[in-house]
Structure 1
Amino acid sequence: MLAMLGSIGMTMIILACALPSYKVWWPFFVVLFYLICPIPTLIAKRNQSDDDNSRITNSMFATIGIIISSFALPIVLARSMVIHWGACYLTLAGNVIAYITVLGYFFGYDSADSW
């Protein structure tokens, strides 16, 4: 299920870049946000002690900042007329599906006793 959702999300990102009416590869830069999104959470989980809850809060703040940036990039590119609004909408839909996939991975394959 996660592989199918990830494939659909990436297909939407590639369509936003490769459709004949768009032909601009700028929306593909949101993939960098997909790659760096889980890093703060993984670092916080690895170095967590029992009495330090601020590390979890800070990692969630950083992760949410990365996610908001991945939604803001296509909107800024569309407002500055670098990409078309249709490419922006495809990229935003791909973002939603990709982050649902990441969320599903963390909830599905993470043990409950590690937090």
Structure 2
Amino acid sequence: MTMVILACSLPQYKLWWPFFVVLFYVLAPIPTLLARRYTEHQGSSNSCLETAIFLTMGLIVSAFALPIVLARVAVIQWGACYLTLAGNVVIFATLLGFFLTFDQDDSDYNMW
């Protein structure tokens, strides 16, 4: 989040358009969390979970695409775009670590 805030508030950038990626940070894990909560793990194929992962991937790609599109149309500067993309990598790596850690069967935190 620090990189996204820096992309918005540094004196040479001064625009808060990159902050809209925070919406993707909030929305991205919701389909997967709901699918894992309300489906049973039966067999190798689960269409509900696969659809949720597809929607999550669409939101993640959109989070990376938004700053690039804003920089291409010259709404924001490329430096702000790079800071936002670096913030995206950190946030989504953290979300991936969360899902990998708490999805284990031996964990007491299967309620997530």
Give the TM-score of the pair, scaled to structure 1: 0.85
- Runs of 4+ in structure 1 off by over 4 angstroms are none
Q: Which residue of 1 aligns with 2:20?
A: 29
Q: How do 1:36-115 and structure 2 match up within 5 A?
A: 36-49=27-40, 50=42, 53-112=46-105
Q: What is the aligned length?
A: 105
Counterpart Cα distance in 2 of 1:38 and 1:67 = 9
Aligned-residue RMSD, C-alpha: 1.5
Identity of aligned residues (%): 61
Q: Shift of residue 110 of structure 1?
A: 3.0
Counterpart Cα distance in 2 of 1:14 and 1:58 = 32
**Structure 2: which 5+ runs fail to align?**
none
Task: Work out whether 1:19 is the aligned partner of 2:19.
Answer: no
**Structure 1: which 5+ runs fail to align?**
1-9
CA distances 1:36-85 after superposition (whole Å, capped 9, x unpaired) = 11100011111213266111110110000000000000001001110000
